[in-house]
């Protein structure tokens, strides 16, 4: 079983709709992250959380919100989807108890298309 799972894997929605992307992890990590990937721009950080109920804005948080109700789950919401939110979304986790060179572990991604 995968350590970091994302649902759904693919989603098509219409402009103005509210949608939620879910991320679950079994790694026991306390830190979780949401990124989006766009062609030519790499991965950009949307939100991150150090622990349950802890929420921090990343580089591109406008138009998004998140919820961390449990250590293993971190959900990303688009309150009113718009076409330029069409992208590949990744969830990642990391462990605060570790070496300096802390790596992040990524889920398989959710491909979102907003029409």
Partner 1 sequence: DQQVKQNSPSLSVQEGRISILNCDYTNSMFDYFLWYKKYPAEGPTFLISISSIKDKNEDGRFTVFLNKSAKHLSLHIVPSQPGDSAVYFCAAGRGQEYGNKLVFGAGTILRVKS
Q: Does 36 bind partner 1 (CB under 8 A)?
A: no
CA atoms of 111 and 10, how far apart (whole Å) = 5
Cα 41 to Cα 8, 35, 37, 38, 44, distances in angstroms: 23, 12, 7, 5, 8
Stretch that binds partner 1, among 14-22, 66-74, 76-84, 103-111 (CB under 8 A): 103-111
DSSP 63: T
* Residues present in the chain in total: 115
The helices-and-strands tally (H runs, E runs) of the chain is 0, 11
Q: Which is nearer to partner 1, 72 or 95 (CB)?
A: 95
Minimum gap (Å) between residue 91 Cβ and partner 1: 8
Minimum gap (Å) between residue 101 Cβ and partner 1: 5
By CB under 8 A, the residues from 55 to 94 that bind partner 1 are: 56, 58, 90, 92, 94
Q: Does 8 bind partner 1 (CB under 8 A)?
A: no
Chain contacts with partner 1 (rule: CB under 8 A)? 4, 31, 33, 35, 40-45, 48, 50, 56, 58, 90, 92, 94, 96, 100-109
């Amino acid at each position: 079983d995968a350590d970091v799972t994302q649902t759904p894997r693919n989603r098509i929605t219409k402009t103005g709709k509210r949608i939620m992307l879910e991320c679950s992890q079994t790694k026991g990590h306390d830190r979780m992250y949401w990124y989006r990937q766009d062609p030519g721009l790499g991965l950009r950080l949307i939100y991150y959380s150090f622990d349950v109920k802890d929420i921090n804005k990343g580089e591109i948080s406008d138009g998004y919100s998140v919820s961390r109700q449990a250590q293993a789950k971190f959900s990303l919401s688009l309150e009113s989807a718009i076409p330029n939110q069409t992208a590949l979304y990744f969830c990642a986790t990391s462990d605060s108890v570790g070496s300096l060179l802390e790596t992040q572990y990524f889920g398989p991604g959710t491909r979102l298309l907003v029409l």
